[in-house]
Amino acid sequence: MRLLTPDEMRRADRYAIDELGIPGLDLMERAGTEVARAIEARFGASGLRVVVLCGKGNNGGDGFVAARRLASRGARVDAVLFATAAELTGDAAANRERAAAAPGVSLREAPDSSGDAGVAERIASADVVVDALLGTGFAGAPRGRLADAIALSRAARGAIAAIDAPSGVNCLSGAVDGEAVRADLTVTLAAPKVGLYLHPGRAFAGEIVVVPIGMPEEALERAGGKAFLFDEEDARALVKPRRRDAHKGDFGRILVVGGSPNYTGAPVLAGLAALRAGGGLVTLGVPASLQPLYAARVLELMTFPLPDRDGVHSGEGASLLLDRKDRFDVLAAGPGFARGGEQEEFLRRLLARWEGPLVVDADGLHALARKEDRIASTKASLVLTPHLGELEALTGRARAEILADRVGFVRETSATLCAVLLLKGNPTLVADPSGAVTLNTTGNPGMATAGSGDVLTGCIAALLGRGLVPAEAARLGVWLHGKAGDLAADANGEAGLIAGDIILHLPAAILPLERESSSS
């Protein structure tokens, strides 16, 4: 599903109106009508007590249409304008007049706080409160009467339905900088908005329903949106059945390079995940001095001892690996790397000579910090998997700058680095150099646990070994990782979830996709 930013939605609106000749009043009429239908489908209409809170912009105009349409279906509707009628212009003013004349709609103005006690009483007695205060272009903290109106919405004892977005939520970043409506249902118009799927905004949106408003697909495509939700249907399309005559070499020879004295478990987690996600042959490239710890730890994993300095990977280890690179199809580097030592030199040599798929995670990313030219010039097919702190270190950019537009930032950085870039979080974002960015739809807070990232690295490496291109492997790997985490949480709860639980549930996450793929 395509997601749009506020600017992209504005471009679509302008194209539809200016280039395709669709009157804005018609779009508003359809928008309010579809909002009313969505509310009726969820809560009913006949006898429903509804309060519509309207701002003075187009979002308020949509609210006036919804008020009129709900009243025509038997609802008892109060519409409250938090401004004066004289402040309205254009289509919003026209629809305010239509609502005022509509049977079943009681319209009042609340330009100041003198009547707020009465408004609060009506809100408290309503079955449904409709938020039509602020549109998707809003950013910052609501002020004045709009902030008052949002605060009054907290008196609601019934449900709250937001039009397009909960007022106070930034539809680009998902930020909530002040007062915000906490909706049970968000009816978003024409296309879903990026910020509705980014926390904290996602927590304010409730159920998200997308409704058509007569916006031609041509206008939405012209808007240029290249952000998408990645869901089960997308995952299913990437899973291919195994040939009946396949052998283990057909599913990738994967080397996980990692481990150090204090982080011996990380490469094991990544290696096991690679096996559970369908990798064929998985080897752990570990410091030679630590190799005895790994030799019998997991029977299905092989080991490849690499020269080290005091248990930390060295530049000589990278050279040895590269001299024997024909033994491997996919590399994953970083799980259990320690900081300091020769990790930077290790990765410098790797990037200079390795030409196959390479996943870099954890302290491997810190070793590449501020090395944009080196990253962009490698012949390796890179997948970089930072969390927010690692992305700060990798790019040298401040956290606030990243969070102001996460989707735009990962898109820009992916293009600059010529690499698939994955930003872990809820949701995890995956960007590729073409400019496409996907937001994942699986996962839960229980997965915020030690080793979870190592499991993700193994998943992606396995899918690269199975022949997916880097962007596909990253997107499917993130989805499967999250799905396995959801299955683990369903089985035992979120609080006690550990990385090993995610690994154990990977086959169950994959199984339905494989079954459907085999039967199609």
Q: Are 402 and 388 in contact, with CB atoms under 8 Å apart? A: yes
**Contact (CB, 8 A) for 230 and 43:** no
In the chain, which segments carry CATH 3.40.50.10260? 2-225
Q: What is the DSSP letter of 308?
A: E
Q: Which two tokens stand for residue 515?
A: 């079954």
pLDDT at 78: 98
**Residue numbers of the chain with a pLDDT score lower than 50:** none
Best CA proximity match to 466, nearest among 210, 278, 264: 278
Q: Is 208 helix (H, G, I), strand (E, B) or coil?
A: strand
Q: Helices (H) and strands (E) in the chain — how many of each?
A: 21, 20
DSSP 152-216: HGGG-SSEEEEESS-TTB-TTT--B-S-----SEEEEESS-BGGGGSTTHHHHH-EEEEE--S--
CA 494 – CA 446 distance, rounded (Å): 4
CA atoms of 44 and 62, how far apart (whole Å) = 19
CATH topology of domain 2-225: Rossmann fold (3.40.50)
Report which of 416, 432, 412, 415 is spatially closest to residue 478, judged by C-alpha positions: 432
Domain with CATH 3.40.1190.20 in the chain: 245-519
How far is residue 173 from each of residues 60, 200, 238, 387, 409, measured CA to CA in Å?
A: 23, 9, 29, 17, 11
**Tens of pLDDT, residues 206-242:** 999 999 999 999 999 999 999 999 999 999 999 988 8
| pTM confidence score | 0.94
DSSP 8-state class, residue 324: T
CA–CA gap between residue 474 and residue 327 (Å, rounded): 23
**What are the strands of the beta sheet with 159-163, ordered from one edge?**
105-109, 76-81, 49-54, 128-132, 159-163, 185-189, 207-211
Q: Give the side-chain half-sphere CA count within 13 A for 260.
A: 21
Angle at CA of residue 343, ends 339 and 349, nearest 5°: 165
Predicted confidence at residue 517, as pLDDT, reads 64
Is residue 221 within 8 A of residue 502, CB to CB? The reply is no
Q: Is 185 helix (H, G, I), strand (E, B) or coil?
A: strand
pLDDT, one tens digit per residue, over 260-291 is 999 999 999 999 999 999 999 999 999 999 99
Residue 172 confidence (pLDDT)? 97
Contact 97, 67 (CB under 8 A): no
Q: Measured in Å, how far apart are the chain's first and last C-alpha atoms?
A: 22
**Does an H or E element contain 154, and which?**
none
Tell me, what's the pLDDT at 99? 98
Domain 245-519 has CATH 3.40.190.10: no
